[in-house]
Structure 1
């Protein structure tokens, strides 16, 4: 087995950490599994794992991060993005004028793909873990995609979920390498389902956290099981996609292809991409 290079953003805890550990354990020692987030995890259990800090709500921090990776790496085989937050706070803008939740769940992930695209091998896999199940272009407020005036927690979730669907389909065409290739890059939007991670406990009062932890072990999936299902499902869907000439998949919490996802029109994708790059590039242009 040849060595690989993988980047896992949101890989410092929960699902992302479990996915990073699984990839590292199944890869040769000469591989590099770079995990990133705000805080270094207590343990990096495999010698081929590295940590690099990243504030994934900041477009400028992401650009600096990707520039550093591009200067040091000739290739990237796997890009996984699981960064997320559970909060009941209303619209909370970053210094770049983007709601922090939407920056983390959507805009930052798209910037990571755009900037790391030149490194992606012809057979690379890109996995976005958010909600590959419930998104639809019918859920968008098309004249207020960043929800400056229509913000609610539910609507923010709808927009991040739905726009991710559209962008996965966009990358399936725009994100392909040139020339002949045995395997195409494949872009996956994954729904993890209920997972017993720290995210849930972020919105639970301290006095209830012990009970939530106990109940969670019974009714929720462990991060390790979720990681196994999503990684295996993404690869299986990519293989099936090759046969069907499809370079994108939405998968459920068991790793199964969601077959009834809407195919976005060219105009819908154009509107979302135009909005996304306009907002991101405006943030990048701000003075430090």
Structure 2
């Protein structure tokens, strides 16, 4: 709808004013998450929460970002383990108790095609990390997001980082069954979690239209997400070394689409609940347009969380 190229969208000049805004980025310690925090920081928001699991990496990222911008920027490390529901609640409680607003929430963190496993609450490790964890974080932050959205001329955005891998996702019945999902391969489980990201973003927009909620594909980029696969898969290792330099984009270009969606596009340029490919290209998507699927995913996730006391 509002297509941009990486040449026409330049974060330094294209991002709207961020003065007074509070931002939270999950997985902000490396890759496109770190690049996203860096570029947003250059526009001097009121506060950025850099959320990640490993404190040393999070603090190193903040030091690196401040060395490239300003030591006076308010960037705070926020401990967040998306496989742990208590950790997610602690992170949300910290934000809620210290901030009266939240303008931009970027759900960027994720894992890709890792070996089989489950979260402490029993979900597939990829579905639990990439979808369920972010669902709970958003749910707990909803009162703050809604309060901010009720202000005059408010512009509150929730950005779900998905992937074109959603095209490889199994049917909804498999996505919503931990047992059936466990019987599939690592890439299918990853694709299922990315389809869930799209459905979640769309359903969030339906249920809370005062928020602008979109999902997106960052592009094919070489990030640390490939490391676990390169260690165990010779084909991935070969691809990263030989084909990667040709096919993979840089972290800088990989962050452009979420930067555009979070702070570059005007509010009226975004179709609430929809899916975007780089940079700023609105794509019709079966997962975003299927309201029934979105409702079923939402209800399944609520049921999973309720079973664990959340």
| TM-score category, normalised to shorter length | 0.7 to 0.9
User: 2:127 & 2:281 partners in 1: Cα distance?
Assistant: 26
Which residues of structure 2 form unaligned runs of 5+?
Answer: 1-16, 67-72, 150-154
Structure with the larger helix share: 2
User: 1:284 & 1:274 partners in 2: Cα distance?
Assistant: 15
Higher relative contact order (CA 8 A, sep 6+): 2
- Deviation (angstroms), 1:15: 1.1
Match of 1:48 among 56, 63, 74: 74
Residue of structure 2 equivalent to 1:112: 137
Q: Does 1:124 align with 2:124?
A: no
Structure 1 residues 276 and 136, CA, compared in 2 at 3 Å: closer, same or farther?
Answer: farther
- Deviation (angstroms), 1:125: 1.0
User: 2:242 & 2:78 partners in 1: Cα distance?
Assistant: 32
RMSD: 2.9
- Deviation (angstroms), 1:33: 0.7
Residue of structure 1 equivalent to 2:152: none
Structure 1 residues 154 and 215, CA, compared in 2 at 3 Å: closer, same or farther?
Answer: closer
1:169–1:248 contact (8 Å) kept in structure 2: yes
Q: Deviations over 1:125-184 (max 9, x none)?
A: 111112267359972126x6142234222442343222322221211122234xxxxxxx
Bigger drift between 113-122 and 38-47 goes to: 38-47
Q: Does 1:228 align with 2:256?
A: yes
Structure 1 residues 201 and 136, CA, compared in 2 at 3 Å: closer, same or farther?
Answer: closer
1:11-50 aligned within 5 A: 11-28=28-45, 31-39=46-54, 40-41=57-58, 42-44=60-62, 45-46=65-66, 47-50=73-76
- TM (norm. structure 2) is 0.77
- TM (norm. structure 1) is 0.82
> How many residues of Structure 1 are paired with residues of Structure 2 in the alignment?
270
1:155-174 aligned within 5 A: 155-174=188-207
